[in-house]
Amino acid sequence: MLLTRYRTALGFAFAAALMAAAGRQASAIEPVLSAAESRLKADVTYLADDLREGRAPGTNGIEAAADYIAGVFRELGLKTAPGAQGYFQPFTIAGTPTLDDKASMAIKTKDKDKPESLALKTDFAPLSLGASADLKGVPLVFAGYGITAKESERKLDYDDYAGVDVKGKAVLIIRREPQQKDEKSPFDGKELSSHSDLRGKATNAFHHGAKAIVIISDTETAKDSDPLLPLAYAGGDQSTSIPFLMITRARADALLKSAGAGSLADTEQKIDETLKPQSKVLDGVTLSANYKINRNEIKTKNVIGVLEGSGPHADETIFVGGHYDHLGHGGMRSGSLAFLSRDIHNGADDNASGTAMVLEMARRLSRRHEPLPRRVVFMAFSGEERGLLGSMHYVKNPLYPIDKSVFMVNFDMVGRLNDKSELTVFGVGSTPGAAELVDSLGGSLGFTIKKVRGMSDGIGGSDHQSFYLKNIPVLFAFTGIHNDYHRPSDDHERINIAGMGRIADLGELLLLNLAKRPKRPEFTKAGSQVAGHGGATPAASSTSNNAKPKAADPHSSGGNDEDMARVSITAYFGSIPDYEDSTTGVKLAGVSEGGPAEKAGIKSGDIIISFGGKPVATVYDYTKCIAAHKPGDVVEVKLKRDGKEMTLKVTLAPRPGR
């Protein structure tokens, strides 16, 4: 009995010692959080939880996130903005396209009396990167791979459109590119080059005057089977103004043979062996097609809370913003860098961290006993990952006068402060004294402030750009790119909460300085070094630790196969397309100060309809046109301004930093 009691007592003592040791170890691993850090952690954890489904527009997850943000604003006593629906500013963005049930296609060959109907999803399939179709008896031309490639550095001179007239005709083209299995191929060896891109092929056909595109799988892709691509294979956005369809290789082979053009396999082999196009009009072959692609809309919303000011400057507005949307489950065209993953992309750093910072700024400023001299509007934007759509919608539909909007502070990816306390701040060139201010405030809190060359004008890959383009001074805080960016691994466990707490301290001091200034900050435009097309285009954005890349842009590659190919652009034009606009042509949201476009007289609001003699109907056409030129080229740009057409000559410059 005594022995038993002794052992029991010893066991209790040992257990107590283990618990004490475990407690000490836990406290060493998990330091006690301050009140602010606890709030930030709670916000990030909620927003980046799997239950939020990656906060993609149109999901229950992002709706729950919007309600959470609005709930915080309500608890703080923030007011709603005039013209808003409570704390929300609704708008719509393009959703998943659908195909009308009555889609049809028929092909007529010279050896048959009547057109032969093709079966939907068995013989043919439309792709949503193209337009709806109403084609009747359109002649068909075989145009090889649909590629025009003239690159002296690669010793590449190949043009499938040479010697054939495709104006007003449909082109039958092969996916990918020649010599895919040849390491010495001038295209890019065994890697797919930008010439394989489906959107590039579509633009090339459009530029040559084609009326429709019919694509077929190449031999390598179809070696085991020949499935038709799904409607939204290349993304839900319309990339070209002409119809884009796919048919099976068996159907294409029969068409070539009926026109005396030989077999499809033999034609591909001959192109591979000689690297010479085998394009030809398919005598007697015509196609008809009729279908409608429904461009469905997704309802989403900005979340807005208002802290009113008091005094002579109370009608002036400072904006504090950050986007709360992300990539959902990833997938093709989402912007995910985990190309084959369908896992939830929680976006803890991008941008639950920035949204949490907006909420923390609202908490700190709203609890002050005395009202601030200026109004402060806290905004969580949706649609940023699709091209700054939420912030663009706001500045086009402002709830407070633009001319009384005096500053915008943007938080995007502020959750990964490094051990050197390096914080990047963009926009210091948008108002006099901003660089000195952030250096002074940041230095007092132990930060090393990094001001990126060429980005000080406010143009860059986040929502501050929309405000900058309305001549509103901006600052954008950012802790840097990391390996989890736009991947499922961007989870809340990897967030530097203590670092966020320090950034919140800096943000509060900055906003108080801006709100209490006796005079509104002056807006200035520093010569833009990086901007829109011909500077950092959707298809050619680069990644560095000092810039948030817009791989998330709806027009950047986000899938696999030929859709991953990048367009190489060396010439600089200096414009920012308006991605929210659906006008035929490319409407400009802005032009870069001192850039080639501005020097030539091109202005914000102009609609580009032709570039270098090539028609422009979509932003993809526009990108392809710029990519076809080099620095120093003088190009004619045809545009519409106030309903009138005009032509201006632009001398393209080298891309900044090259």
**Looking at the structure, do residues 479 and 580 belong to the same domain, yes or no?**
no
> Is 463 a residue whose pLDDT tops 90?
yes
* Residue-level pLDDT at 336: 92
> Is residue 281 located within the same domain as residue 418?
no
Written as six digits, the tokens of 49 are 């939880």
Tens-digit pLDDT profile for residues 64-99: 999 999 999 999 999 999 999 999 999 999 888 999
| Spatial separation of the C-alpha atoms in residues 51 and 48, rounded to whole Å | 8
| pLDDT on residue 567 | 60
Residue 544 is assigned to a structural domain of this protein: no
Token couple for 486 = 């736009």
Three-point CA angle 550, 556, 561, nearest 5°:
140
Is 480 within the bounds of a domain? yes
Residue 214: its H or E element = strand 212-216
* 334 vs 310, more confident: 310
The tally of domains found in the chain comes to 3
pLDDT tens-digit readout, 22-57: 444 444 456 789 999 999 999 999 999 999 999 999
Q: Give the domain range for residue 166.
A: 98-294
Calpha distance 223→211 (Å, rounded): 30
Q: In terms of domains, do 282 and 314 share one?
A: no
- On whether the CB atoms of residues 462 and 389 are closer than 8 A, the answer is no
Q: Are 215 and 174 in contact (CB under 8 A)?
A: yes
Are residues 68 and 166 both part of a single domain? no
User: Is the omega angle on the peptide bond into residue 346 within 30 degrees of 0, that is, cis?
Assistant: no
Tell me what the mean pLDDT of segment 425-434 comes to: 93
SS3 per-residue string spanning 315-359: CCEEEEEEECCCCCCCCCCCCCCCCCCCCCCCCHHHHHHHHHHHH
Quick one: pLDDT band at residue 549, thresholds 50, 70, 90?
very low
Residues 312 and 459 in one domain: yes
Whether the model clears a pTM of 0.85, i.e. scores above it, the answer is: no
Which one of 294, 316, 350 terminates a domain? 294
Residues comprising the chain, all counted: 658
3-state DSSP helix/strand/coil % of the chain, to nearest 5 = 30, 25, 50
Whole-number mean pLDDT of the chain? 89
Average pLDDT, stretch 181-185?
A: 94
- 400 and 366 co-located in one domain: yes
Q: Domain for residue 538, yes or no?
A: no
- Domain edge (last residue) among 516, 550, 580: 516
> Which residues in 632-654 are b (16+ Cβ under 10 Å) and which e?
eeebebbbbeeeeeeebebebbe
At 560 the pLDDT is 38
Q: Are 169 and 245 members of one domain?
A: yes
Query: Can you tell me the distance from the alpha carbon of 352 to that of 348, in angstroms, rounded to the nearest whole number?
Result: 5
Question: Could you read off the pLDDT of 267-299 as tens digits, one per residue?
Answer: 999 999 999 999 999 999 999 999 999 999 999
The CATH number of the domain holding residue 492 is 3.40.630.10
Q: What CA–CA distance (Å, rounded) separates 147 from 173?
A: 9
**244 assigned to some structural domain:** yes
Domain boundary among 246, 277, 294: 294
In a domain, 548, yes or no: no
Do residues 319 and 248 share a domain?
Answer: no
**Residue 579 maps to which CATH number?**
2.30.42.10
* Cα-based torsion angle of the residue sequence 595, 599, 604, 605 in order, rounded to the nearest 10 degrees: -130
Output the DSSP codes for 85-140: BTTEEEEEEE---EE-TT-EEEEE-TT-SSPEEE-BTTTEEE-TTS--EEEEEEEE
Q: Is residue 243 part of a domain?
A: yes
Note whether 86 and 102 are same-domain residues.
Answer: no
Same domain, 358 and 244: no
C-alpha to C-alpha distance for 550 and 567, rounded to whole angstroms? 14
Residue 526 covered by a domain: no
Residue 632 lies in a domain: yes
